[in-house]
A and B are shown apart, each in its own frame.
Chain A
Amino acid sequence: MDNEFKSTEKLYRAVYPPEIADMFWKLDGTVSSAAFADPKGLSVDRGDYRSDEDVMSVMRSKFTGHIISVYVKNCFDANALVLYRPSHSNPYHSEIHGSLDRAILSKSQRVHLARCAEILTPRPIN
Chain B
Amino acid sequence: MIVKQMDVRSNIRKYFDIAYEGEAVIVPRKQDHNVVIISEAEYNKLIQERRLNAYAQAVGGVPDRKKRIISERGSDLRSHNADKLSAIRAFKPGWNGNGAPAFAPGLIDTVGTLIGGLDIQPEVFPTAMGTIQLEYDNSRHDHMEIEIIAGSVDAEVYIIRFNGEEEYEQMSVSADAINKRVHDFYG
| CB contact between A28 and one of B58, B64, B145, B160 (< 8 Å): that residue | B64
How many chain B residues touch A (CB < 8 A): the figure is 40
The verdict on A81 contacting chain B, using a C-beta distance below 8 Å, is no
Please judge, given known A-B contacts A16-B95, A20-B87, A29-B56, whether A37 and B51 are in contact too, CB under 8 Å. Answer: no
CB distance from B86 to the nearest CB of A (A): 11
B-side interface residues toward A, CB under 8 Å? 44, 48, 51-52, 55-56, 58-59, 63-66, 69, 77, 80, 84, 87-88, 91, 95-100, 123, 125-129, 133, 135, 137, 143, 145, 158, 160, 166, 168
| CB contact between A17 and one of B44, B91, B166 (< 8 Å): that residue | B91
Give 8 CB contacts A-B under 8 Å: A16-B96, A16-B97, A17-B91, A27-B69, A35-B125, A107-B168, A108-B166, A111-B158
Identify the closest chain B residue to A124 (Cβ).
Answer: B59
A123 engages B44 (CB within 8 Å):
no
**Residues 30-45 of chain A: 1 if any B CB is under 8 Å from the residue's CB, otherwise 0?**
1011110111100100
B125 engages A23 (CB within 8 Å):
yes
Q: Provide the bound-state CA to CA distance between A38 and B127, in Å.
A: 7
Residue of A34, A35, A63 with highest tally of chain B CB at under 10 A: A34
A-B pair number, CB within 8 angstroms: 91
A43 engages B98 (CB within 8 Å):
yes
Return chain A residues, CB-CB under 8 Å to B143. Answer: 111
* A interface SS class: loop
Return chain A residues, CB-CB under 8 Å to B87. Answer: 20, 23
Q: Provide the bound-state CA to CA distance between A34 and B88, in Å.
A: 13
